[in-house]
């Protein structure tokens, strides 16, 4: 099975902990019994290509000079995707995978994907098992994002995906999960939450190591949400992808067959606290 695995790395040399996590991520990928090529798009990030050259792993490398980004931006997921999907179309891959370089998933994922019978399919793991400051957070608490998505696409759907990217912009942090699920909806892919079959661990970066903070995340999310709303409108997709956040996403990919007891209680807890979340959101508005 041939997999094109999109990932982007943080600059090396700023955080020993993050450097070690990224090295372990690559070693984890190398243990998988599949023909895997990393699709890596960087933005003048120090040390990444040198690291990959020494890692003994197949990769396709793209560098986008930071000068091509909006002033102050560090990276762009939309640019990464354009490079990856274009390369995916040009080669004979069975799967396109997106993940971050701070996640770890069992090598059994290859076996799970190899048994997938649908030709146009989107599998992902929700929620993550979050490791923050070295401690595991309880899974029953609010969601931790979607940091692994696998696409099995026919040539027709691959080309449709690429055309959709021409309407999409994204820079820095936020809204990428919403975009991926909306694309799966537009392409009419078979959704599957792989949570009960396999678990995903995410190790959260420390803000201070990369001169980031919560305010930076919030402002970045707001800008990307404006881009996203334009994308949704142009492609006749529900605006709730932008307004409903994770509550809407979870409803879109909810399937009874994907549930186990733990995931059932995660859903139950999330929606039981929905009224409280709505009230807080209303009172936060200026």
Would you say 112 and 194 are in contact if contact means Cβ atoms under 8 Å apart? yes
pLDDT over 60 at 216, yes or no = yes
Average pLDDT estimate for 130-144: 70
Q: pTM for the complete prediction?
A: 0.94
Q: CA-CA distance, 197 to 63, in Å (whole number)?
A: 35
Find the range with the poorest average confidence among 33-42, 60-69, 81-90, 275-284: 275-284
What pLDDT score was predicted for residue 133? 65
Q: What CATH fold (topology level) applies to the domain 2-284? A: Spore Coat Polysaccharide Biosynthesis Protein SpsA; Chain A (3.90.550)
What pLDDT score was predicted for residue 141? 62
Average pLDDT estimate for 246-253: 88
In what side-by-side order are the strands of the sheet with 35-42? Answer: 59-63, 35-42, 2-6, 95-99, 148-152, 121-124, 190-193
Of all residues in the chain, the percent with pLDDT exceeding 70 is 93
Would you say 214 and 207 are in contact if contact means Cβ atoms under 8 Å apart? yes
Would you say 145 and 128 are in contact if contact means Cβ atoms under 8 Å apart? yes
pLDDT over 80 at 277, yes or no = no
- Confidence bin at 206 (pLDDT 50/70/90): confident
Q: CA-CA distance, 56 to 189, in Å (whole number)?
A: 34
Which phi and psi angles does 117 have, rounded to 5°?
Answer: -95, -15
Q: CA-CA distance, 57 to 114, in Å (whole number)?
A: 21
Average pLDDT estimate for 149-156: 97
pLDDT over 60 at 285, yes or no = no
Better-predicted residue by pLDDT, 20 or 243: 20
Average pLDDT estimate for 222-227: 96
What pLDDT score was predicted for residue 106? 94
pLDDT over 80 at 136, yes or no = no
Residue 154 vs residues 77, 140, 165, 200, 274: alpha-carbon distances, Å: 23, 36, 17, 26, 38
Average pLDDT estimate for 226-255: 92
- Among residues 265, 259, 96, 276, the alpha carbon closest in space to that of 189 is found at 96
Of all residues in the chain, the percent with pLDDT exceeding 90 is 75
**What does the DSSP 8-state code read for residue 91?**
T
Q: CA-CA distance, 95 to 113, in Å (whole number)?
A: 9
What pLDDT score was predicted for residue 235? 97
Residue 280 vs residues 211, 251, 257, 274: alpha-carbon distances, Å: 29, 21, 33, 10
Would you say 46 and 20 are in contact if contact means Cβ atoms under 8 Å apart? no
Mean residue pLDDT of the chain comes to 91
**What does the DSSP 8-state code read for residue 245?**
H
């Amino acid at each position: 099975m041939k997999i094109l695995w999109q990932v982007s790395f943080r600059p090396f040399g700023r955080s020993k902990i993050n450097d070690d996590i990224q090295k372990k991520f690559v070693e984890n990928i190398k243990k998988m019994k599949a023909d895997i090529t990393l699709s890596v798009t960087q933005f003048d990030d120090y040390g990444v290509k040198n690291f990959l050259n020494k890692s003994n792993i197949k990769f396709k490398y793209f560098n986008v000079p930071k000068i091509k980004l909006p002033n102050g931006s560090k990276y762009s997921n939309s640019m990464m995707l354009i490079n990856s999907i274009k390369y995916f179309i040009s080669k004979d891959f069975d799967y396109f995978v997106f993940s971050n370089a701070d996640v770890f998933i069992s090598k059994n994922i290859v076996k799970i994907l190899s048994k997938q019978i649908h030709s146009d399919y989107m599998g992902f793991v929700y929620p993550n098992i979050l490791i923050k400051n070295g401690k595991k957070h309880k899974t029953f608490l609010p969601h931790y994002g979607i940091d692994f998505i696998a696409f099995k696409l026919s040539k027709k759907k691959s080309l449709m995906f690429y055309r959709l990217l021409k309407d999409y912009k994204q820079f820095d942090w936020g809204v990428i999960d919403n975009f991926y699920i909306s694309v799966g909806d537009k392409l009419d892919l078979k959704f599957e939450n792989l949570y009960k079959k396999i678990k995903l661990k995410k190790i959260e970066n420390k803000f201070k190591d990369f001169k980031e903070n919560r305010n930076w995340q919030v402002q970045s999310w707001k800008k990307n949400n404006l881009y996203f709303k334009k994308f949704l409108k142009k492609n006749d997709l529900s605006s709730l992808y932008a307004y409903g956040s994770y509550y809407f996403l979870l409803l879109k990919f909810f399937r009874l067959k994907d549930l186990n007891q733990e995931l059932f209680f995660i859903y139950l807890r999330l929606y039981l606290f929905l009224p409280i979340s709505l009230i807080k959101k209303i009172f936060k508005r200026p």
